[in-house]
Amino acid sequence: MSDVLEAVQRGRVLRLFLNRPQKRNALNAELCRALAGALEDAGRDPQIGAILLTGNGIAFCAGMDLGEIAQGSVEEINRAHERLFTIGARLATPLVAAVQGAALGGGTGLVANCHVVIAAEDASFGLTEIRLGLWPFLVFRAVAAALGERRTLEMALTGRALEAREAKEIGLAHEIAPDADARALEVAESIAAFSPTAIRQGMGFVHQVRGQDWNAAGQIARRVRNEVFRSPDFQEGIRAFREKRQPRWPSLAEPGQ
């Protein structure tokens, strides 16, 4: 693991910490590559049921590392950003964010790629690139997928920062908590305790139906649901419900789980 990214696994939750606190966790190419690689690896690891992303220091992520841009490695950074800011559309493992302090520019792009977002009361968000004579080209798609194009366009045109309350109102954050890290860990552990089969099939379904028309999406939904109906996890879930006990998911007992 790179020095700019820390990883700690606790049970079935992998915790990833952006670790450039002196730069407010600004995204240089090294951090982008390390984070994308760690997320992709976690998505293939059956022992990880959820990922929790946060930042060390006072900020979640202040966006792009402008110092690196000035050094002329634009194409390398473009490739690293493209890989990272499309991760939410590919990742099959639920990604939870604990956001404290600023999540601006690329930081908002990271948040938009997460599936559940817990914000601290001091969290702030925004597509602030326009202030620098830039546009949020590579994060725009992820933010628009989360919020809609019109809302994202307003954020990009005004460059204004949103406080946690407004971010929650528009759906960029799902919950505000006094201790965002503790609450996000609680959420991640809860998700990781659910059926791995249901999570894997459900996340796969969401990715498969993206961009499909209504009828094609319905066909996919029926096919995937029938597969889940036949799964040992669903049968165990029904038994546990009837017996008023916690389920013991068979997929967690499979080799490598």
Return d(Cα 238, Cα 60) in angstroms, integer: 40
The β-bridge partners of 116 are 96
CB 89 within 8 Å of CB 45 = no
Helices and strands in the chain, H and E counts: 11, 9
Is 52 strand, coil or helix?
A: strand
d(C-alpha 74, C-alpha 71), whole Å: 8
Q: What are residue 193's DSSP bridge partners? A: none
Q: Which two tokens stand for residue 117?
A: 């977002």
Q: How far is CA 125 from the centre of its chain?
A: 15
Distance CA 74, CA 31 (A): 15
Q: Phi and psi (nearest 5°) for 128? A: -95, 10
Known catalytic residues are 129
Question: Side chain identity at 251, as an amino acid letter?
Answer: S
Phi/psi of residue 178, nearest 5 degrees: -60, -40
